[in-house]
Every structure is written in C-alpha cells, then in structure tokens.
Amino acid sequence: MTKTTCQSLAATIAAKAEKVYLNDPAPALVEYAVRRGEGTLSADGAFVADTGIFTGRSVKDKFIVRDEKTENLVWWDNANAMTPARFDALLEDFVAALDGCEVFHQQLYAGAELRHQNNIAVLTPSAWHALFIRNLLIRPAAAALEGFAPDITIVHNPGFRADPKKHGTNSDTVIALDLSRNIVLIGGTAYAGEIKKSVFSIFNFHAPSQGVLPMHCSANVGKDGDTALFFGLSGTGKTTLSTDPARVLIGDDEHGWSDDGVFNLEGGCYAKTINLSAKAEPEIHGATKAFGTVLENVVLHPETREPDFADGSKTENTRAAYPLYVLDNVSRTGTGPTPTNVVLLTADAFGVLPPIARLNPEQAIYHFLSGYTAKVAGTERGVTEPQATFSACFGAPFMSLHPTVYGRMLKKRLKDSLAECWLINTGWTGGPYGVGRRISIKDTRRLLDAALSGELVNTETRIDPVFGFAVPRAVEGVDAALLNPRETWADKHAYDRQSEKLVALFEANFAKFGAADAQVAEAGPRLAVAAE
C-alpha cells in the first residue's frame, strides 16, 4: 500500500467498499442498525446497543506513532509507542478488512469556533457507531459538505483483530493514532467512547501550538454572560452540575479556551446513566427518551422495553449519547465568553475535603495537575475501602503532551482572565464511604450557585490548616456544620488520621511533576501540617 494521507484514506476505503452510506441522518442509521441486528429500540425510540466485553476504554491498547514530530513532544510515560512501519502494516490490514463491506461514512466537524475547527471523517462497518459519532460531533449543513476534505480520518472496525506479532500491539484490540498524518485506527472493541476520545487526543496534541488550551471539562454560561468551566473525573457530577436549567449549556465534555473565549469541541453529550433520576437530572433523563439517542449497555425491561437505569449488571458505565439539540437550554453556537469561574470537582470518599473551597491560581493548578477523586468500595473487584484516583488535568489518558504544558497554559489563562477558582467536593462527609453520608445534590447546587453568582467572593472564610485553601464559614441555605468536615465526624482523631492519609497520597502523586512551577508545588497540602 502506498503512503496514505489523511485526505486519501477515505477515498481508498470507499473505492473498495461494496456500498458506502455517506452522511445518512439518524432515522436511516437507526433503521439500518435495527435491520442488521446491531441492537434494539427502547419504548421511547432510543437505540440500545450492547458493547460486549468492552464496556469502557482499553487504555493499555492505545498507541501513538513515535516519529520525528512526536518524539520530543508526546508524554511517553503515559502512552504506548508504535513505529511508523508497524502502523503502516496495521493500516494496510484495516483497509483490506473493509474490502467488499458496507461502510458508513460520516463527515463531521470538531470545534465550534471556526478558526479552530477540524473536518473529521469516520468510516465504520457499524451503523450504530456511525449514529453515535453523528450524535457526538458537530453536523455540518448539507451545503458545507461540498468539497469536504478531512483533517482527521478515523477508521473504526470493532470486528478487526490485530496481530501482536505483526502489528506490535498488546492484544488483538488496538487504538492507534498517527499524529503526523492525523489518522486513527480503532479495532477489536465495540465501546463507542474510543471514537470520540481519539478526536480529543488529537486535539490535545495540536491545540497548544495554536494557542488553544484543550480541556476535559463541561461548560455553561449564565444570563449575564458569565462562563463557568467544570473539570471532574467520572462520577464527580460534571455532567449533572453543568446541565442546569438556569444556565445555558455550552458543552458536556471537551472544550478549547482560545483568546476569543471557550468553544465546544463536540455537538453532543455522552452522559453516564447509572441510577439516572428524572427528579434529580430531568434534562439528561429527558434526552434518553429522544429518538436517535444511543443508550450504551443500558438494561431494558424485557416486556415494556423501559430502561432500568438502576441496573448495573452489564456495567456501572452505562451511557447515553445524544445531540445537544435535544436539550432545551443549550447554546446554539457552542461558544462562550472568557470564563468567569473555574470549578474543579472531586468526589472525596475519604470524607476529608470540604464541600466547597476557594482556590488561588497556584492552588488551582496544583489540583488541576493532581486531578483527584476517589473510588468507593464495591465499584471494582478488590476495592474494599476508598481508593484515591489521580488523573492529571482530569483526563490523563487523553493528554498527549506532558500535563505541565497544559498546567502552564491554564495558569496564564487564569491570570489574564481573573477567573475565580473553586474546588467542590460532591463526595462524603461525616466519615468515609460506608460510615458518612454523600453530600446531597441540593446542597452542592446551592453552594455552586453561590460561587457562580459572586455571593462567596467577599464572604467570611477560614483557611484550612492542611490544604491551605479558603473555606466559607457560612452559606445561606446550607448547614454551617457541613462546611467544616472535621466537625461532622463523631471521632475527630479518626478524621485527622484520614486527613494525614489523603495528604500523603497527594504528595506521593505530585512527586512526578518535577517540572511544575515551584509556586504550584508549594500550593499543595502538607503532611507535616496534617500531623500537627
């Protein structure tokens, strides 16, 4: 196979396919997917897919081509390397595997800001995966598709099996990114999130050189034009808190921060649905009922076909993928002004952190680089007590460059914008998981509203003796005792021991960021202080 470019790859596959379904809309894709036995319909008309043994990302199977362009830029401690020759062999076999197949070809945009928009071509033999990515990315107007030339081409084939000996992979599953040619190959897994996160990984590599900070966050804007960013790992409430009826949603998951403001990389949402409640999350719950929404690994009642969002028998990582336009209160441009507030979310299962704290810029970067949350007992085999999880920039698997690159960019953006920074804990209080209680969504929303409205900027605070950040002493509508987590514990010495344990974990994790600014490194908690 001759040296393939991003632009020629789609044409090569199309020429060998039995039939190409180009830019078919959601109704046609749903029809094809049902007819081909790829899934079923819920009572409300959502398409329900089962991804088999892969119900999440295959982190160990992701590779980046190591070449002249990536050699000195990619964060190799966080990525598997693949030689250009291995990638070319893999690419040739991917193309051959689609020879004579029906191929669904979607031409889409990534990036709502025109100056930083990329043309994306996705080719797959699976109708429902084409529907998924059509929901998640930005759908061009028909007239804009004339002469469409892809900047990024993704070849997706869940039935493909890589050969570790030939292709240099770790298994027969592979997600391979050539960042010089912007070609992505995904095979051996039906988990649809691999497609969208590959787009984000490429964006993370190229955006900084264009002066754009890539962010794994959600964003919304208030009636006065005040943009808020929400960083947080899975289970911290990022989607729930940003989907607010009182504020306009810019986007759910992936954004860029340019000199002109914030823009959504996508055109849809990929929301977790485990234990989804119509009362607590009415907008997301309503979106699961929209025709064309993709429900991933959600269990249906065998007779009524109503989704059972409490059923995690397949996975706790059940998902709904839907276009933003099914929501009422959503930005039609996918853009917003320079942020006024930056919110870092964590679900602290140790019961140590306060429900809200105000951060100075150095503290904000420390916690941004740390990317802390905690897994609770029972969520994974062998997890019997809370376990700290640190994911740099709240999205380490997708950060193609070293985290400190993004940290320095965020620090400059915060300095230039004068944005307020907040740490919000949606986890436990009064004790760790299993002893204390989860902070209520009602209290979290009240604290968030107070932060975003400016109510907390001049309120009286105390400086946490261990973490050093400012914690409000009182917030109207919230029990004052909640704001001081040590006071919510019956055994104060047990709280101190738990605090020491968490601080030690923070310090051990941050040791790997030797390249971080000294002021940032000094902004973290101190074990010696905790011991006192």
C-alpha–C-alpha distance, residues 245 and 264, integer Å = 19
Give every CB contact of residue 120 below 8 A, 6+ residues apart in sequence: 106, 107, 108, 109, 110, 137, 150, 151, 152, 153, 154, 199
Helix (DSSP H) and strand (DSSP E) numbers for the chain: 15, 30
Token pair listed for 437 = 């209680």
C-alpha–C-alpha distance, residues 392 and 371, integer Å = 5
CB neighbour class for 186 (10 Å; exposed up to 12, middle 13-18, buried from 19) = buried
- Reduced to 3 states (helix: H, G, I; strand: E, B; else coil), residue 195 is helix
C-alpha–C-alpha distance, residues 453 and 245, integer Å = 15
- Reduced to 3 states (helix: H, G, I; strand: E, B; else coil), residue 410 is helix
- Reduced to 3 states (helix: H, G, I; strand: E, B; else coil), residue 361 is helix
Q: Which among 336, 378, 312 is positioned nearest to 113, based on CA atoms?
A: 336
Angle ∠(418,423,426) on CA atoms, nearest 5: 145
DSSP 24-70: --HHHHHHHHHHTTS-EE-TTS-EEE--TT--S--GGGEEEE-STTT
Give every CB contact of residue 65 below 8 A, 6+ residues apart in sequence: 81, 82, 83, 84, 87, 176, 177, 178, 179, 180
Token pair listed for 336 = 């917003």
Cβ atoms of 175 and 194 within 8 Å: the answer is yes
C-alpha–C-alpha distance, residues 520 and 368, integer Å = 10
C-alpha–C-alpha distance, residues 127 and 36, integer Å = 8
DSSP state for residue 486 in the 8-state scheme: H
For the chain, the 3-state helix, strand and coil shares in percent, each to the nearest 5, are 35, 25, 40
Kindly report the number of other CB atoms within 10 A of residue 101's CB atom: 17
Token pair listed for 124 = 């797959």
DSSP bridge pairs for 47 = 41, 294
Residues marked active site are found at 57, 197, 216, 234, 238-239, 253, 319
